[in-house]
Copies of this chain bind each other. A is one copy, B any other.
Amino acid sequence: MKTFGKEYGFSTRGNGSVIDITGHLRDTVRESGVLAGQLSVIVPGSTAAITTLEYEAGLARDLPEFLEGIIPSNVAYRHDAAWGDGNGFSHLRSALIGPSMTIPVSGGQLVLGTWQQVVFLEFDNRPRDRKIHVNVIGE
């Protein structure tokens, strides 16, 4: 039994960026040498999220458009009144989708579907330098 952690960094273009991070997660599993166990990944920050999605151009626009519909970016939230950075919507979208997820590891592979990628969702209203932290634990 062992545990292995790693960070990866990348840049985003701000709200609407959908980034496929599956490769980073697979690399972490491989480097860890873990054959069976669990992977946990998080974005440290409260204006982005992590989930899974079939990573193709259509859905990469459908998902931000859906979120724009239920949490509009042009509405004044109480957060904006207090802080003036205009990204209240980013915080709400992050709390809704969630900043972390866990994925089982089996046979040295992440247990994911063929058309299922792990994606980083940028919600902040400006380009950001981001990092994700990945931990693998198992044997």
Which A residues lie at the B interface, using CB under 8 A? 1-5, 36-38, 40-46, 51-54, 56-59, 61-63, 66, 69-71, 77-83, 88, 91-92, 94-106, 111-113, 115-116, 119, 133-135, 137-139
Interface of A (DSSP majority class):
mixed
Copies of the protein in its oligomer: 3
**Cα–Cα, bound, A71→B62 (Å):** 11
Q: Which residues from chain B contact A44 at a C-beta distance below 8 Å?
A: 111-113, 116
B residues near A45, Cβ cutoff 8 Å = 113, 115-116
CA distance A106 to B106 in the complex (A): 23
A100–chain B nearest beta-carbon distance, Å:
6
